[in-house]
Structure 1
Amino acid sequence: MASQFPPAPAAADPIDALLSAHGLRRTAAARKVLGLLLAHADISYTHAQLQIALADEGDAALDRVTLYRLIDRLTQVGLLLCRVDSQRVRRYQAMPPSVHAIPHFECQSCHRDSPLSGALKANAEDLERAAQTALEALQALGYQGMHMDLAVRGVCADCATGVPLAAPSATPGAAA
Structure 2
Amino acid sequence: MATALSLTLVDPIDALLSAHGLRRTGAARRVLGWLLAHPDTSYTHAQLQSALQNDPVAEGQGECGSALDRVTLYRLIDRLTQVGLLLCRVDVHRVRRYQAMPASVHALPHFECQSCHRDQPLQGALQGNALDLEVAAQNALQALKILGYQGLSLDLAVRGVCADCATAAQTDHNAP
Q: Same fold (TM over 0.5)?
A: yes
What is the CA–CA distance in structure 2 between the aligned matches of 1:163 and 1:35, rounded to whole Å? Answer: 38
Question: Deviations along 1:24-45, whole A, 9 cap, x unmatched?
Answer: 0000000000000000011000
- The correspondence for 1:17, drawn from 15, 18, 24, is 15
Identity %: 75
- The correspondence for 2:144, drawn from 138, 141, 145, is 138
Q: CA deviation at 1:7?
A: 2.5
Matches within 5 A, 1:150-161: 150-161=156-167
Matches within 5 A, 1:16-165: 16-57=14-55, 58=59, 59-162=65-168
Tell me the number of residue pairs that the alignment of Structure 1 and Structure 2 aligns: 160
Question: Deviations along 1:45-99, whole A, 9 cap, x unmatched?
Answer: 0001100111112321100000000000000000000111111111000000000
Q: Unaligned regions of 5+ residues in structure 1, if any? A: 165-176
**1:142 aligned partner, one-letter code:** G
Q: Comparing 154-163 with 61-70, which one deviates more in the overlay?
A: 154-163
**TM superposition score normalised by structure 1:** 0.87
Look up the SS of the partner of 2:124 in the other structure. helix
**TM superposition score normalised by structure 2:** 0.87
Q: Unaligned regions of 5+ residues in structure 2, if any? A: 60-64, 171-176
Counting helix residues as a fraction of each chain, which structure ranks higher? 2
Look up the SS of the partner of 1:105 in the other structure. strand
